[in-house]
Structure 1
Amino acid sequence: MAKVRIKDVIDTFNLELISGEEGINRPITTSDLSRPGLELAGFFDYYPAERLQLIGMSELTFFDKLSEAEQKVRMEGLCRDITPGIIVTRGQEVPAELIAASERESVPVMRSNMKTTRLVSHLTNFLESKLAPTTAVHGVLIDIYGVGVLITGKSGVGKSETALELVKRGHRLVADDCVEIRQEDQDTLVGNAPELIEHLLEIRGLGIINVMTLFGAGAVRSNKKISLIINLELWEKNKQYDRVGLDEETMKIIDTDITKLTVPVRPGRNLAVIIEVAAMNFRLKRMGVNAAEQFSNRLNNAISQGEHEEL
């Protein structure tokens, strides 16, 4: 199923549909756009027909200098069976040759009042967001002090209960149970809740609660960049857990590595406070303050000083 169709672009950018209405369900498969200047000059060897085509003032000014026969041939060359659509910018008049060719091939031709460069920017951002690689992860996503924290762990370990405590402490819920994640950039993962369960939190024994209704609009947000993963697991007596914090573990989601911490769960541990502090410590590390490294350096200096005194 196509993620983006021409009709989505028409609705989002309030475009005027000029011709080729039969093709408004054509899918858009790439966020790359094309301004077919070379093609209007007659060079179609590398024509990216699968891209959305934008015709601005430069292209139309050149087009007006062509003969009628050339104009017809060039517009017919632009309208291919895989071309999702053609947008004429700046509210310019759409050439009759383009309308005729688009009707024949059912290629939607649209018109926008926006400047070409501005429309290119907005369209690229929109398409990259919609066409970004996506996945879904079982967990809870919380915005803690501006840090997007994805809490993972086996079912029943206490993820939702911890999220509820964090919301009560003033942090914001993004998604519970299922987190939809899209990779918007090479190192940027953005998570959001499926529409069906947005703003909802499931607490065993209590049921479904609406966080926005109970705690207000300030307790939720629609999406958040994921910066830290905290995996909750039941305490294992014989397992060695990191007690200093020098070793940094990562988890790969799609093509991005995210810092991961493993927090053991046992009675008496306040998970909400631990996760809150983990988020604050993560922010400190990004600002260049690493408590574990500072302690390690102090320890090494103390050992070196002790050895020197013995000598």
Structure 2
Amino acid sequence: MQPKVIRDAGERPLVLFSDSSGIVADKTFLQRSLLFAELAMIAYNDEAEVTRAAAEIGFPDVTFFNNRGAQAFRFRNRHNSVIACRGTEPNEWTDIRADVDAVSVLAETAGKVHRGFKREVDNLWPMLETSLMNNKQPVYFAGHSLGGAMAKICASRCLLSHISTNPQQLFTYGSPRVGNRSYVKFVTIDHYRFVNNNDVVTRVPPIWLGYQHSGYEIYFNRNGDIKQYGYLMKRRDRWRGFLKELVRWKVDHIGDHSIHRYCENLVKAVLAEKESIAAGGEPYTPCKLTIAPPDAPH
């Protein structure tokens, strides 16, 4: 894969590896995962840079939605449509308020959801729904951090709305818990939830407030490899990851949350898969034996 580098003065360059030409469903699972992670990463940038970056990986049609600080992009080409919600920006008060407002309230669908996340989606959904009402393409939802939580709620509303196309899949990276057990059980979407080792955001809001994760967990271990671990093995791996970074005077609970770290891990996974296929192996298939509920303690 040849990297595409998008540079903007004073900002970290965007290094992109995806190619969205063709139908997304025809790509391997890991290729799709990387594509949506890169779109979630792109979504943190200003509209002009997002448009440039999206065009580089095959999305010439970009629409920006912004209402009261809640933001998302629609990426579209001949074959696919993707809604990527922007995650938390530390200098945006509305994002911080959304993150900390963890009171659960009735969802638009069923059960209860995080009030701060719901408020962000309430601000955006009328615009998103209008833009998707006449959509004829497969539509996917993606997001990182707060954006992952918003993407989950948006995909749920899309599923139960008058929009003609149901969400194909939902990919979230470093997403917090969004709703309670009733919400998780009622909203059935093909959801893949990526967790990078000690990413602290994936452990909030706490279970004792009634929140649960949803979707199929894809876990990156301390070395950035996808592993299917049980509860005890995961705790052991997280301790090793913590100690590995501690000797470098770093706390990986924050560093592991970076969307760049998720993208780097997925680039490595896609390259390894490519080598495996060339040697006669099979593409990676996620294990769906353990869907989120009941949520194991972290």
Does TM-score exceed 0.5, indicating one fold?
no
Q: TM-score, normalised by structure 2?
A: 0.27
- Higher-RCO chain (CA-CA 8 Å, sequence separation at least 6): 2
Give the number of the structure whose residues are more often strand, by fraction.
Answer: 1
Structure label with greater radius of gyration: 1
TM-score scaled to structure 1, two decimals?
A: 0.26
